[in-house]
Structures are given as structure tokens and as C-alpha cells.
Amino acid sequence: MPQSNSGPRTIEGTLVAKGMRFALVAGRFNEFFVDKLVEGALDSIRRHGGNPAEAVLVKVPGAFEIPLAAQKLAEGGKYDAVICLGAVVRGSTPHFDYVAGEAAKGVSSVSLKTGVPCVFGIVTTDTLEQALERCGTKQGNKGFDAATTAIEMVSLLKQLG
């Protein structure tokens, strides 16, 4: 974007993934959907100039377990960003609120604690149909979006020093 002479100096990340190292953490629960999110995330890395073959994919039982694995990966210092992928579908159980809430809080807290961007690519929906819409159909692919956000944040944090 062109810089205006009077406005503030703007710093923002680019979408160039070349040389970036990514860890993906994926819940196995609702695997049909999560597999599509993983595909979307790898597609984003590739289409932004990164190498998906250099990414690591870590699988955990469900979304509730994602933050702990993400924390271990972020603390290890080997990855520039952790892309968290899962699918929590409400159905008829109050379990949803605990699982979705803890996953969201946990991913955010890992980011803030470690300084490594941990991106929330966990789909939380009322129905299976809504989940499908976010995993590569009507509403796009939230895994692709999460990886794109990770690329931008890695680039931004490098500039912020």
C-alpha cells in the first residue's frame, strides 16, 4: 500500500512464506473435517511460496489437547509459528462449551506466553453442516485462512524485532 506523507509509518506483515518453518497441530476428533483443514493449511503455505514438506504435522486426540502440544512446539524454538486445527461441533452436548472455550483460551495463552504466533484454526459450529461449510465449501477453508494468518504474523513479528 502506498505510504502517505502525513500518516503514521505503517508496519504490516507480508504473505511470503519462503523459508518459514511451521508446525501444524490437528485434533483427531471430527477427523473428516480436520483433514480438510490440514489440506487447506498446507495449500496456503505452498501458494505463498513456502515448502509444505518442511512442515511438521502433530496429531492430538481432540481440540482440548491442542494447546498443550502447541506449547511444547512453541517452546522448542524450531518453528516460526504453530497452526492449530480442529473441529468442535455443538450437537446436543454442553461439552462443546468447555472444549471450544478451553481450546481458544489455551491457544491464545500459548501465543502470549511464548511469543510464537499460535493461530486459531479451530472451527466451532452448531452443526455438522456448518462445519462442512468452513472446511472447503461455502465459507472457504479455515485451515487455509489460519495458515495465511500465521504467515502474516511471522513476517510482522520479524519486523517488530
- Residue of the chain from 43, 96, 114, 128 that contacts ligand INI (CB under 6 A): 96
In terms of residues, how long is the chain? 161
The verdict on whether 95 is a catalytic residue reads yes
> Does residue 154 belong to the site contacting ligand INI (CB under 6 A)?
no
Give the x/- contact pattern for ligand INI in 28-67, rule: CB under 6 A: -xx------------------------------xxxxx--
Question: To which residue does cell 524454538 refer?
Answer: 77
**CB-nearer residue toward ligand INI: 16 or 57:** 57
* Cα–Cα distance for residue pair 111/157, rounded to 1 Å: 12
* Cα–Cα distance for residue pair 92/160, rounded to 1 Å: 44
**CB-nearer residue toward ligand INI: 50 or 67:** 67
User: Count residues contacting ligand INI (CB under 6 A)?
Assistant: 15
Q: Decide: 74 and 143 in contact? Cβ < 8 Å.
A: no
Residue of 78, 95, 113, 158 marked catalytic = 95
**CB-nearer residue toward ligand INI: 54 or 126:** 126
Stretch that binds ligand INI, among 11-19, 26-34, 51-59, 144-152 (CB under 6 A): 26-34
Stretch that binds ligand INI, among 38-46, 70-78, 95-103, 108-116 (CB under 6 A): 95-103
Question: To which residue does cell 461441533 refer?
Answer: 89
What is the pairing mode between strands 118-125 and 81-89? parallel
- Residue of the chain from 40, 52, 67, 86 that contacts ligand INI (CB under 6 A): 86
Q: Is the dihedral of CA 58, 64, 68, 73 positive or negative?
A: positive
What is the pairing mode between strands 135-137 and 140-141? antiparallel
Q: 120, 81, 90: which is closest to 104 by C-alpha?
A: 120
Other beta carbons within 10 Å of 101: 13
Residues acting as catalytic residues = 95
In the complex, the residues that contact ligand INI under the rule CB under 6 A are: 27, 29-30, 61-65, 86-89, 95-96, 99
